[in-house]
Amino acid sequence: MSDVQEFQTRPTDTSKAESPLEWSLHEQKSLPHASNPGVTLSEKPFLGQLIVRGGAIVLDEAVREVMDMALPAKPHALVSDDSGERSIQWLSPDEWLVIVPGGEEFELEQKLRKSLGQSHFSIVNVSGGQTVLSLKGNRAREVLMKSISYDVHPQAFPVGKGVSTVFAKATIILRRPEENGWELVIRRSFADYCYRWLLDASREYGVSVVR
């Protein structure tokens, strides 16, 4: 058993939590709504996010045992479970981002720590530090082409890939879990900036924001 102190960061009482995008959405009198939107933007707030670091072999064993998923070993690989709600993404040769539905992350962390025992690893709960934006629609790729220097052509960026790169000078993690949907994992402090940038960049295609 690991001797690291763990604690539940998610409040268990009924106190109101605000997602990183809450302020930006609140500031707008009404959310953008296009009749025939080329781009649909929505936040997936309050997901459980863990940064898991360590050797690939021991982590793979633990993840298989606890989550019943294989750890993606290839660079930039992104694997999801059948429901698409739990995903593991390769970030660097010894670092992975695990995203699970909100509320599951603490139990998952405990299980992983128990399974990993005394091996050399680190698990950090980053749920409060970043949020996931979902960008959908047939013009979503064109919005990304304007905003990042990374190649988002389907040949270079197939479904099941995720990279961390520069988005309008901010650092983000860009993922493509499905054919017509992209996910942007953005930092809390950059949430308003990225949101406004996305709105501005997608205005010409018609944009709807869904809460």
Partner 1 sequence: MFYILCPYCKEHREEEEFHPRGQAHLMRPEDPDNTTDEEWGDYLFFRDNPRGIHHEMWVHSVGCRKFFNITRNTVTYEILETYPMGEQPTITADDPSVRHEQGAQVADGGWQTVGARPENTALNEETSS
Binding interface with partner 1 (CB under 8 A):
75-76, 91-93, 95, 149-150, 163-166, 171
- To partner 1, the closest distance from the beta carbon of 92 in angstroms equals 3
- To partner 1, the closest distance from the beta carbon of 57 in angstroms equals 17
Name the residue nearer to partner 1 (CB basis): 24 or 164. 164
- To partner 1, the closest distance from the beta carbon of 168 in angstroms equals 11
19 contacts: CB under 8 Å, gap ≥ 6: 43, 45, 46, 131
- To partner 1, the closest distance from the beta carbon of 81 in angstroms equals 24
Name the residue nearer to partner 1 (CB basis): 91 or 198. 91
Cα of first residue to Cα of last residue in the chain, in angstroms, is: 41
Name the residue nearer to partner 1 (CB basis): 171 or 189. 171
Name the residue nearer to partner 1 (CB basis): 190 or 207. 190
* Sheet arrangement for strand 181-187: 161-167, 170-178, 181-187, 130-136, 39-44, 207-210
- To partner 1, the closest distance from the beta carbon of 99 in angstroms equals 18
| Residue 197: CB atoms within 10 Å | 18
Buried b (16+ CB within 10 A) or exposed e, 71-103: bbeeebbbbbeeeeebbbbbbeeeebbbbbeee
Name the residue nearer to partner 1 (CB basis): 159 or 166. 166
Copy the structure tokens of residue 203: 């205005």
